[in-house]
Amino acid sequence: DSGVTQTPKHLITATGQRVTLRCSPRSGDLSVYWYQQSLDQGLQFLIQYYNGEERAKGNILERFSAQQFPDLHSELNLSSLELGDSALYFCASSLDPGLAGLGGANVLTFGAGSRLTVL
Amino acid sequence: DAKTTQPPSMDCAEGRAANLPCNHSTISGNEYVYWYRQIHSQGPQYIIHGLKNNETNEMASLIITEDRKSSTLILPHATLRDTAVYYCIVWNNNDMRFGAGTRLTVKP
């Protein structure tokens, strides 16, 4: 158990639908990151939040949105789903000492992922 | 584009050392080198990181060249369970991308 909790583990839905993936970061971590991994593809960075604020954005589609709540958990919302959105979605968390003004390395801890299947 | 270059695949005999190279010729002075691995669709697992000096932990050793333009991850006694994709990453706060990694296959 990495300490990063993702729910649900598996989700099957239809095209055009909307889903929400949830992530609880490791205790003490302030940053949350979302990644998408399609079948046999690499990890695509989607977005980062730090202490409730968006800090970095990667290859996130306009149909996708995310937020980090005051209790630091995060949700990734995927709407108007397409077949190509079928993938593993990973959440990671870190203290992010750079943003905390401490300097040093930024080690990410990943959750086990949510597998989304769009039919 | 990712800031690192790794061979796409490598094989290693069980019980032997696995040496995984990585080039990061554009690394900046304050950027760390991180290594992660991903075992078949599991969440990526942190292995080790370093800035300038060589590092060792219970999982692996990291050798960084003096000019910091390349590094090598060493798994001293590879087992079948070490078969995975290994990612060498150089991050800054605005670019948390993974590259394609090296697919290491440990063979009996």
CB distance A99 to B93 below 8 Å: yes
Q: How high is the pLDDT of residue B2?
A: 58
For the stretch A47-66, pLDDT in tens is 999 999 999 999 899 999 99
Instruction: Give yes or no for A25 touching B (CB within 8 A).
Output: no
Q: How high is the pLDDT of residue B15?
A: 97
Q: What's the sign of the alpha-carbon dihedral A60, A63, A69, A75?
A: negative
Q: How high is the pLDDT of residue A99?
A: 73
Q: How high is the pLDDT of residue B99?
A: 86
Q: What are the chain B neighbours of A86 within 8 Å (beta carbons)? A: none
Low-confidence residues of chain A: pLDDT under 70 = none
Q: List beta partners, residue B84.
A: B104
Q: Across the interface, do B34 and A98 touch by the CB < 8 Å criterion? A: no
Q: How high is the pLDDT of residue A76?
A: 98
For the stretch B53-99, pLDDT in tens is 899 999 999 999 999 999 999 999 999 999 999 999 998 666 778 88
Q: Across the interface, do B32 and A42 touch by the CB < 8 Å criterion? A: no
CB distance A68 to A52 below 8 Å: yes
Instruction: Give yes or no for A96 touching B (CB within 8 A).
Output: yes
User: What are the two backbone dihedrals, phi and then psi, of residue B61, each rounded to the nearest 5 degrees?
Assistant: -120, 150
For the stretch B25-59, pLDDT in tens is 989 888 899 999 999 889 999 999 999 989 999 99
Confidence of residue B17 (pLDDT cuts 50, 70, 90): very high
Q: How high is the pLDDT of residue B107?
A: 97
Verify cis geometry, omega within 30 degrees of 0, for the bond prior to A8: yes
Closest alpha carbon within chain A to B43: A112
Q: Across the interface, do B94 and A56 touch by the CB < 8 Å criterion? A: yes
Q: What are the chain A neighbours of B45 within 8 Å (beta carbons)? A: 110
Cα A81 to Cα A14: distance, rounded to the nearest angstrom: 7
User: What are the two backbone dihedrals, phi and then psi, of residue A116, each rounded to the nearest 5 degrees?
Assistant: -105, 130
Q: How high is the pLDDT of residue B29?
A: 82
Which of these, A24, A41, A23, lies nearest to A86 by C-alpha position? A41
Q: Across the interface, do B98 and A110 touch by the CB < 8 Å criterion? A: no
User: What are the two backbone dihedrals, phi and then psi, of residue A84, each rounded to the nearest 5 degrees?
Assistant: -70, -10
Q: DSSP class of residue B5? A: B
Q: Across the interface, do B43 and A107 touch by the CB < 8 Å criterion? A: no
Residues B64-94 as b or e (16 or more Cβ within 10 Å = b) = beeebebbbbbbeebeeebbbbbbbbbbeee
Cα B103 to Cα A82: distance, rounded to the nearest angstrom: 29
Q: If you count residue pairs, one on A and one on B, with CB atoms under 8 Å apart, how many are there?
A: 60
At residue A21, the 3 state secondary structure works out as: strand
